[in-house]
């Protein structure tokens, strides 16, 4: 893919690292001289030390070729302008961080894929890591439900249990649903007869009320 990334701050620099390592053609636009030089010295990508809100800058980035433009700056006004300019060049995928919820309607009107309040996402992740050590990853679906990824431990109540038996006995908390299971690097869709084993990675749909019980069922006492 040909990806134009706006901003090389904490979010942008991590994104640049992922995109370059995955073999994409990456162009970075960064207005700060030092950050631009740092990215240029670290990564095999084109870095433009320029103002991304200028149409000429995006043209220099060959935005007409871009499969995606991702704006990661900490100023919503800059991100909005970048998205509007990129839309004029018919970029198929427009992605931006949004810091102020009041600006969401503007981004939505443009048709942007949103990463809302990245600082809150980081805070949520850190909190879950401390509060639920058994959770290796999570996705908050809304204010009440989320997907959590857990590695099954030897002492977990679910270890050795078929899902249908665990449901009937209450070992699997009511309201929890195992939607995916990874075993020996193979991802499979679990069924009622699927027996959970220690070492399995399970992705569980749960609500906030039963989250702690779900973690305890698969990851035991931690």
Tens of pLDDT, residue by residue, the chain (222 residues): 999 999 999 889 989 999 999 999 999 999 999 999 999 999 999 999 999 999 999 999 999 999 999 999 999 999 999 999 999 999 999 999 888 888 888 988 888 887 666 666 666 666 666 566 777 777 766 767 888 888 999 999 999 999 999 988 989 888 889 999 999 889 988 999 999 999 999 999 988 778 888 888 998 765
- Please tell me the distance from the alpha carbon of residue 25 to that of residue 124, in angstroms, as a whole number: 32
Residue range(s) of every CATH 3.40.50.720 domain in the chain: 2-116
DSSP 102: G
Question: Which residues are bridge partners to 207 per DSSP?
Answer: 145
Is pTM, for the whole model, over 0.75?
no
Pairing of strands 2-6, 68-71: parallel
Architecture of domain 121-219: 2-Layer Sandwich (3.30)
Q: Which CATH superfamily is domain 2-116 in?
A: NAD(P)-binding Rossmann-like Domain (3.40.50.720)
Residue range(s) of every CATH 3.30.70.1450 domain in the chain: 121-219
Phi-psi region of 62 (alpha: psi -120 to 50; beta: other; left: phi over 0): left
């Amino acid at each position: 893919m040909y990806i134009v990334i706006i901003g090389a701050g904490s979010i942008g620099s991590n994104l640049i690292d992922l995109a370059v390592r995955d073999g994409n053609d990456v162009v970075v636009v960064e207005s700060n001289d030092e950050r631009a030089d740092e990215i240029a010295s670290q990564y095999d990508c084109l870095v433009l030390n320029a103002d991304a809100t200028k149409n000429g800058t995006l043209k220099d980035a060959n935005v007409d070729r871009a499969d995606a433009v991702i704006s990661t700056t900490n100023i919503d006004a800059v991100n909005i302008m970048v998205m509007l300019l990129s839309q004029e060049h018919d970029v198929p995928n427009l992605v931006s961080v949004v810091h102020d919820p009041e600006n969401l309607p503007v981004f939505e009107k443009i048709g942007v894929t949103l990463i809302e309040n990245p600082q809150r996402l980081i805070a949520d992740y850190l909190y879950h890591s401390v509060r639920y050590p058994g959770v290796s990853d999570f996705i908050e679906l809304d204010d009440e439900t989320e997907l959590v990824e857990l590695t099954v431990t030897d002492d977990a109540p679910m270890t050795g249990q078929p899902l249908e038996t665990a449901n009937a006995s209450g070992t699997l908390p009511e309201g929890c649903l195992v939607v995916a299971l990874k075993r020996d690097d193979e991802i499979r869709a679990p069924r009622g007869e699927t027996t959970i084993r220690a070492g399995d990675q399970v992705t569980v749909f749960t609500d906030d009320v039963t989250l702690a019980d779900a973690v305890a069922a698969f990851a035991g006492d931690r």
